[in-house]
Amino acid sequence: MAAAACRGRRLPARERAVHNATHMTVHILKLCVGADSVEDLAEWQIGQVKRAKKEKRPHIAPVCGTRMWPKRVEDVLAGGSLYWVIKGVVLVRQRIIAIDDVTDDHGQRCGLYLDTQLVRTSPQPRRAFQGWRYLDPKDAPADLGDLKGGADLPEELRRKLVELGAW
C-alpha cells in the first residue's frame, strides 16, 4: 500500500492483521512542548477531543500536528505509538491510530491522530531535539504496567530518580 493511500485512513481489523505482518512497526518520539506533566498533556487533549466533537471533525481523537510527514507511514500505522518527551524524560506513549492532514494555528500540517489512552512508560531521559524522531521498538521504554514497582510513585519522584541515575 502506498504512503498516500494511508493518509486519513484507519485500516479495518482484518486488513490491519495483514498490514502488520508485512510492515515493521516503528514508533515516533516527540517533545511535548508546553506540558509540565502527563496530567497537563491529558487535560490539553481532553480539550482537543471536545473541540473536535463540537466542530464535527472527521477524526474525534487527540492530534499532534507536525510539519514533516513520516516517510514510513505504513510502519508507523503497523502498531506504532507516539512517545512523549516531557521536560527531558520520556514518560508516556499513545498509540497512533491515523495519519492525516490537520489544520491548526500553524496552517495545514501532518496530523498524528492518537488513541485517547495515555500509557505511562518507564522514565527514559532524552536530550532536546527539533521535530520528531523515529524510535525503534527495541529502544522504546517499557510500559510501567509491565514492570515490577514504580507505577505507584509520583511522577516527580520518578523524574528525580532518573536524573540521579537511580532508575
Whole-angstrom CA distances from 133 to 3, 30, 70, 78, 147 are 18, 7, 9, 17, 25
Strands (E) across the chain are located at 27-31, 63-66, 81-86, 89-104, 107-114, 119-125, 132-135
Q: Locate 94 and state its grid cell.
A: 499513545
pLDDT tens digit string along 15-38? 444 445 567 999 999 999 989 999
Instruction: Check: CB of residue 61 under 8 Å from CB of residue 47.
Output: no
pTM (predicted TM-score)? 0.77
What is the C-alpha separation between 136 and 132, in angstroms, rounded? 13
The tally of domains found in the chain comes to 1
pLDDT at 18: 45
Domain range for 92? 3-163
